[in-house]
Structure 1
Amino acid sequence: MSHPLERAEGNSVSTWPDISHLSVSQPELINALRQMGQHVKWPPKMRAPHSFRNPDLWCEFHRDHGHKTEEYVREYLREFLSEKAKNLLSKETPRKYAETKPASPPRQDRVIHVISGDEMSFTAKEQEKVLAPHHDALVVSLTVANCLVRRILVDNGSSSNIIFQAAYQDLGLDESAKTGKPTPLMGFSGEVNQTAGEVVLPVYAEGINMSTKFLLVDYQSSYNMILGRQWIHDMGAVPSTLHQMVKFPTPWGIKVVRGDQENSRSCYQTTLKGKTKVL
């Protein structure tokens, strides 16, 4: 081992590298060096008898008393940072990282959701029945209050379920069915509309007949109803606009309600022509 000090113009000058900038403790540094195995040359065991060693000084290298750890950490770190050591590590590192390189992500053929122990998946094969490419909203037809209602928008961007006044009248419902006071409802573009109350209607979907609360809105729209997150969450449903379907668990397994792309596009075109407004 080379001596840690050299003489220069009569003064003692340290040749040990400065390690104060390292963000690891000495024990951590030594442990890292130990893991490098034979690449690090370890100092020989202390030869001095225990009676001649200073019990107040501890060396982590030797795991014994007699001198400070710094005396060996700096010396061997200097040797470790030499050009020879750097060249050795540069040859070893590429091979090591090549062995531990993460695998590329696999191709996704389906998306799986698990709710209450039931698995709901959307497969690439299910897209074969969809008119693609598309950016269509999910518009379905369901039985509401014993009437088949088309142009129902399934929208997880809406916090509430909404029925528009025209659809409410077409269902032949009495005004007495309405409850609640008018409440403000913020639209997509930020405008505020007052609701005309609320109503609870049965919504039937593949064997599930769920009482659903709707906000009644006297507003012209290309849709008859909007099923928002309240209905989606109560059903435990997972909608997919890409696959144009909504799936939900039932006592008889996972059921599917498919979207109607023709109605979806018709509603979109009607809105673009300005005949109706987007709530």
Structure 2
Amino acid sequence: MEVPYPDHRRPIYLEGQINDVFIRRALVDTGSSVNILPLSVLTAAGIPLSKIVQSQTSISGFGNKSEVTVGHMQVNLKVGPIRPLTKFYVVHVDVAYHALLGRPWLNKHKLVVSTYHLCMKGRIGLRPLRIPGNQALFNKNEAHYSEAEFYTECTGAGSNPSKDFETYLPSWTEIRDLSNEELITIID
């Protein structure tokens, strides 16, 4: 039997929309007790910051590092056929995801994460529901995120993924005697 996705260590990201603005990296995190939205996504979606309910909450993350939220708000998030308002805590940090969907979102919609099939599974009424994970997440400018190492596809201009993206990093011995102009040429 062949494995559907040979690398099922990948984080699961879903595609979605906030105010008709497409997001391609809604990270599903079963270990998170809150849903998180970066402030930059609210700005890109055209949501006025006055809608944020001002309350500073401390959220602990990886390595027990704490981040204080700007506040929280209800956002109309659409993921597949799921479209209700979702409570998000808003943070002002640079992160690899556009939204973090934690246990509150998963439990509200009675969804189960399948890391083997890289998707979400559940039911809407009596109908089975399967929401596939997004496989082309990072563009060339975002290759520095640690999560990008799990993906061999990247998004191009628009929605066409390009395959086998690699970033060439020359060794120090190859570039130590080059002029600034030559270094800029290599970087470009």
1:147 to 21, 24, 29: 21
1:179 to 46, 50, 53: 53
With over 3 angstroms needed to count, the CA separation of the structure-2 counterparts of 1:267 and 1:231, relative to structure 1, is farther
In structure 2, the partner of 1:196 is 70
- Does residue 216 (structure 1) correspond to residue 112 (structure 2)? The answer is no
- Aligned partner of residue 208 in structure 1, secondary structure: coil
With over 3 angstroms needed to count, the CA separation of the structure-2 counterparts of 1:219 and 1:164, relative to structure 1, is same
The letter for the 1-side match of 2:50 is S
1:243, 1:220 → 2: CA distance? 29
The letter for the 2-side match of 1:199 is M
CA contact (8 A) 2:14 2:79 kept: no
2:38 to 144, 164, 189: 164
- 1:261 Cα shift? 2.7
- Does residue 249 (structure 1) correspond to residue 123 (structure 2)? The answer is yes
More helix by percentage: 1
CA contact (8 A) 1:139 1:264 kept: no
- Structure 2: 5+ residue stretches without partners: 148-188
- 1:272 Cα shift? 3.2
Deviations 1:117-153 (A, max 9, x none): xxxxxxx77x53x2x1341000110122332211110
With over 3 angstroms needed to count, the CA separation of the structure-2 counterparts of 1:187 and 1:248, relative to structure 1, is same
- 1:199 Cα shift? 1.1
CA contact (8 A) 1:136 1:264 kept: no
CA contact (8 A) 1:203 1:211 kept: yes
Query: Greater CA radius of gyration, 1 or 2?
Result: 1
Residue pairs, 1:4-83, within 5 angstroms: none
With over 3 angstroms needed to count, the CA separation of the structure-2 counterparts of 1:265 and 1:134, relative to structure 1, is farther
Q: What TM-score, normalized to structure 1?
A: 0.48
After superposition, the CA RMSD in angstroms is 2.5
- Aligned partner of residue 203 in structure 1, secondary structure: strand
With over 3 angstroms needed to count, the CA separation of the structure-2 counterparts of 1:269 and 1:196, relative to structure 1, is same
In structure 2, the partner of 1:92 is none
- Does residue 230 (structure 1) correspond to residue 136 (structure 2)? The answer is no
Deviations 1:218-259 (A, max 9, x none): 011111110000000000000112211001211261111111
1:253, 1:272 → 2: CA distance? 36
CA contact (8 A) 1:138 1:264 kept: no
CA contact (8 A) 2:113 2:121 kept: yes
- Structure 1: 5+ residue stretches without partners: 1-123, 274-279
The letter for the 1-side match of 2:66 is V
- Aligned partner of residue 62 in structure 2, secondary structure: coil
Q: What TM-score, normalized to structure 2?
A: 0.70
